[in-house]
Amino acid sequence: MNRMIRGGDGSHWDECQELHWDCKIAMLDKENLELKIQLGKWKTKAEDDAQEIEILKEALDTRQTVYDQLLRDYMELIHAKTP
Ligand SMILES: [Zn+2]
């Protein structure tokens, strides 16, 4: 995996989130929100959908873990660069 950088200069491109920390966090944040919305919809459905709920929960948990770690690392980076 490439070393990630802060993408603050305004230059972005398709899949720049593989390099830009900010863009990766924003992408994961958006994906996590979408998963949370889907999860909310599944929760209103019948008991037959319980297995689907478990799949979405696992996907969200996995992404939330990645998101949380990226956010912690990012905040450490920002804090380290602040005089
Ligand atoms: Zn970017």
23-80: per-residue pLDDT in tens?
999 999 999 999 998 888 777 776 667 788 889 999 999 999 999 999 999 999 999 8
CA atoms of 58 and 77, how far apart (whole Å): 29
> What is the per-residue pLDDT for 4?
82
Q: What is the whole-number distance in angstroms between the Cα of residue 51 and the centre of ligand 1?
A: 36
> What is the per-residue pLDDT for 7?
78
Q: Point out which residues pair with 5 in neighbouring strands.
A: 20
Q: Is 9 within a domain?
A: no
Query: pLDDT at residue 1 above 60?
Result: no
Q: What is the whole-number distance in angstroms between the Cα of residue 14 and the centre of ligand 1?
A: 8
Q: What is the whole-number distance in angstroms between the Cα of residue 39 and the centre of ligand 1?
A: 28
> What is the per-residue pLDDT for 63?
95
Q: Is 38 within a domain?
A: yes
Which domain, by its residues, includes 24?
Answer: 20-81
- How does DSSP classify residue 20? B
> What is the per-residue pLDDT for 2?
61
Q: What is the whole-number distance in angstroms between the Cα of residue 6 and the centre of ligand 1?
A: 8
Q: Which H or E element spans position 61?
A: helix 50-81
Q: What is the whole-number distance in angstroms between the Cα of residue 58 and the centre of ligand 1?
A: 27
Count of structural domains, the chain: 1
3-state secondary structure of 50: helix
Q: Is 10 within a domain?
A: no
Contact of 22 with 7, CB cutoff 8 Å = yes
